[in-house]
Amino acid sequence: MRGSSELTVTLAVAQLAPRIGDPERNRGLTAAAIVDAAQAGADLVVLPELCNSGYVFADAQEARSLAEPVDGPSVEQWRALAREHDLAVVAGLCELDDGGAVRNSAVVIDSGEVRAVHRKSHLWDREKLCFEPGSLPAPVVETKAGFVGVAVCYDAFFPEVMRALSIAGADVIAVPMNAPVLAPPLEPLAADLITACASAQINRVYVAQADRTGTERGVDWVGASVIVDPEGRMLTGKAPTEALLTATVDLARARDKRFSERNDVLADRRPELSARPARIIERGAPTAGKPGPTPSAIA
C-alpha cells in the first residue's frame, strides 16, 4: 500500500470506450489505463465490464468469437502489467471457460497472478442470449489494496449481493460496468450513480465502479464511473468521456461499521427475520397481536 499508513491506498477506475470486434485495440486501451493508473500511484485499478470485447453483440455466435480463456492474451497482458507496476487489477472479461461456456466475467489480479474469476450471476437483457450465468457467490479477495469484493454491473443492483460482500469483509467493492442509456437520466444523478452511493453508505464500504463510454452500434452509455466512500459521498466527479478517476482512501473507515454510538450496520442485522418471507395481512383479516383499546377505554 503506497500511502503513509498501511491502510491508506489509492483507488482508480478507468472509463474506456472499447470497440466491438477489435480486441487488439481494446487491449491497447486497457494497457494504457493500467500504466496511467500506476503513474497516478494507484494500488488498485478497475476496468469496465467486457473491456476486451465490447458489449453490443449481434448474437451469441459473435460473443463466442470474441471470448477468451482466462489464460488468453488479455488476461496475460493484464497480469504482466500488474506485476511490472505492482498494483491490483479488476477487469471485465468476455470469457470462454474450461467447459466451453461463454461468460461475462471479472478477473481479480494481484501480484501478477489471477486470484479469482467472478462470473456475473445476474444477466441483463440480451446478455441472457449470449452468456451462461455464474452459479457461485461473488468473491472477496485479499490484495495489496485491501480486501476487494467484486460485482459485475447488474449484480450490484441486488442489495443482498453487496451486503454479502460487506459481511465477508470487503473494504472495497469493485464494479466493472457497462450501463446503457435506457431513458433520459435522472437528475442530478443517474440511477447507476445513486445505486453506487447507496450501496457504499448502507454497507459502509468503498465502491469503485468503472463504466464505459462511447457509442457502440447505436447504444450510448451512462458513464457512471465513480469512487464512493463509506458515507456515500462521491470522491470523484462525473466524467463525460474516457478518463481515469482516482482517490486516496483510508481502509480503516470501511472496517468501522458504526453509524453512531448505538448503531452498527452489521451488528444490528436481524437475519432471523430477514431470511423469512414478509408477512401478508389481507384485508378483513384479524389484526395480529393484542386488540387495541375500545372507544370507551380511550374516552
Task: Answer yes or no: are the C-beta atoms of 12 and 244 closer than 8 Å.
Answer: yes
- Active-site hit among 51, 94, 130, 153: 153
- Known catalytic residue: 62? no
- Active-site hit among 49, 68, 127, 216: 49
Whole-Å CA distances, 169 to 80, 178, 275: 28, 26, 20
What DSSP state is assigned to residue 116?
A: E
- Known catalytic residue: 290? no
Q: Tell me the H-state helices in the chain.
A: 23-39, 60-66, 73-85, 127-130, 159-167, 191-203, 252-255, 271-274, 295-298
What's the CA gap between 86 and 69, in Å, rounded? 24
Q: Phi/psi of residue 242, each to 5°?
A: -60, 140
Whole-Å CA distances, 77 to 82, 87, 91, 214: 9, 13, 12, 23
What's the CA gap between 74 and 69, in Å, rounded? 9
- Known catalytic residue: 238? no
What cell does 55 get? 458489449
Q: Phi/psi of residue 39, each to 5°?
A: -65, -25
- Active-site hit among 120, 127, 130, 197: 120
Task: Answer yes or no: are the C-beta atoms of 148 and 170 closer than 8 Å.
Answer: yes
Question: Three-state DSSP class for 156?
Answer: helix
Q: In degrees to the nearest 10, what's the CA dihedral of 100, 152, 217, 69? A: -30
What's the CA gap between 141 and 135, in Å, rounded? 18
The cell 447507476 sits on which residue?
192
Which residues carry out catalysis?
A: 49, 120, 153
